Amino acid sequence: MNSVTPDLQPARIQALLQESRPVQLPIQGLKPAAVMIPILEDGTLLFTERAAHLPHHAGQISFPGGRIEPGESAQQAALRESQEEVGMQPGSVTWLGQLDDVYSPRGYHISCHVAWVRLQTFEPNPAEVSALHAVSCLQLWQAQRHSTKPWPARPEIAVHYFQLEPVLVWGVTGQILFNLKTRLDPIRLGSQI
Q: Please tell me the predicted confidence (pLDDT) of residue 13.
A: 94
Residue 189 confidence (pLDDT) above 60: no
Please state, rounded to an integer, the average pLDDT across all residues of the chain: 89
Confidence class of residue 4 from pLDDT cuts 50, 70 and 90? low
How do 44-50 and 93-103 pair as beta strands?
unpaired
Instruction: Rank 6-20, 117-131, 151-165 by mean pLDDT and report only the highest.
Output: 117-131
Mean pLDDT of 16-39: 92
**Long-range contacts of 178-181, Cβ-Cβ distance < 8 Å, separation of 24 or more:** 178/146, 179/99, 179/100, 179/102, 179/112, 180/37, 180/99, 180/114, 180/140, 181/140, 181/141, 181/146
Mean pLDDT of 49-58: 70
Global pTM reads 0.90
Q: Please tell me the predicted confidence (pLDDT) of residue 54.
A: 66
Is the torsion defined by CA of 172, 115, 120, 6 positive or negative? positive
Residue 140 confidence (pLDDT) above 70: yes
Residue 66 confidence (pLDDT) above 90: yes
Residue 108 confidence (pLDDT) above 60: yes
Which domains does the chain carry? 10-138 (3.90.79.10)
